[in-house]
């Protein structure tokens, strides 16, 4: 059998999120082959699950009884969490990706009848602050052009 990180990842979280995980193995394996996921996507999902989701929810007895408030508190926990390679909190984009993964996990459980609702569905994405583009004035651009000889840009 060829090692497939996504398959291992799905089995791991299926065991955690779904008690009847033996029936889900086939589901995730089929979805993996149907969706033809890239290795980078698989690794990102695997890392996000292992670093953020798995430990936080590991003490929950019945994941199916999680509420909107529980998921909201998880997102707030992520907002306070410091990124591993820096002193800064997790980026808004990273938090949104983790929340999307959590929503997908619940969506699969919902489709398979393990849950009656998806508590992550109503959680909105955090707004991503867009950097404002700074444009040069004509004078600034002309000053920039003086740094070059005319034959360098003609």
Residue 82 belongs to a domain with what CATH number? Answer: 1.10.150
**Is residue 98, in this structure, part of any structural domain at all?**
yes
Residue 24: which pLDDT band, with cuts at 50, 70 and 90?
A: very low
What is the phi/psi pair of residue 89, to 5°?
-70, 165
- Look at residue 58 and tell me whether its pLDDT is greater than 90: no
Mean pLDDT of 17-27: 43
Look up the domain containing 86 and give its range. 5-126
Lowest mean pLDDT among 37-46, 63-72, 129-138: 37-46
pLDDT at 20: 37
Q: Calculate the dihedral angle through the C-alpha atoms of 95, 53, 117, 107, rounding to the nearest 10 degrees.
A: 80
Write down the pLDDT at residue 29.
Answer: 44
Mean pLDDT of 113-128: 88
Q: Does 108 reside within a domain?
A: yes
Q: Is residue 119 part of a domain?
A: yes
CB 108 within 8 A of CB 27: yes
pTM: 0.68
Is 142 contained in some domain? no
Helices (H), 18-53: 21-35, 39-48
Q: Is residue 150 part of a domain?
A: no
Q: Tell which wins on pLDDT, 47 or 11.
A: 47
Distance between CA atoms of residues 137 and 143, nearest Å: 10
Residue 154 in any domain: the answer is no
The verdict on residue 141 lying in a domain is no
Instruction: Using the predicted structure, report yes or no on whether residue 71 has a pLDDT greater than 80.
Output: yes
**Per the structure, how many domains does the chain have?**
1
In a domain, 54, yes or no: yes
Percent of all residues in the chain with a pLDDT value above 90, rounded to a whole number: 28
Name the percent of the chain lying above pLDDT 70. Answer: 77
Rounded to the nearest integer, the mean pLDDT of the chain is 78
């Amino acid at each position: 059998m060829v090692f497939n990180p996504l398959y291992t990842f799905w089995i791991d979280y299926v065991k955690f999120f779904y008690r009847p995980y033996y029936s889900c193995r086939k589901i995730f394996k089929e979805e993996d082959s149907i969706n033809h996921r890239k290795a980078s996507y698989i690794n990102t999902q695997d890392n996000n699950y292992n670093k953020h989701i798995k430990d936080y929810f590991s003490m929950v007895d019945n994941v199916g009884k999680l509420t909107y408030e529980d998921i909201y508190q998880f997102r707030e926990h992520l907002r306070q969490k410091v990124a591993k390679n820096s002193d800064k909190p997790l980026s808004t984009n990273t938090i949104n990706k983790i929340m999307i993964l959590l929503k997908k996990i619940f969506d699969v459980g919902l489709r398979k009848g393990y849950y009656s609702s998806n508590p992550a569905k109503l959680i909105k994405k955090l707004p991503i602050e867009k950097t404002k583009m700074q444009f040069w004035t004509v004078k600034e651009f002309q000053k920039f052009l003086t740094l070059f000889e005319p034959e360098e840009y003609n």
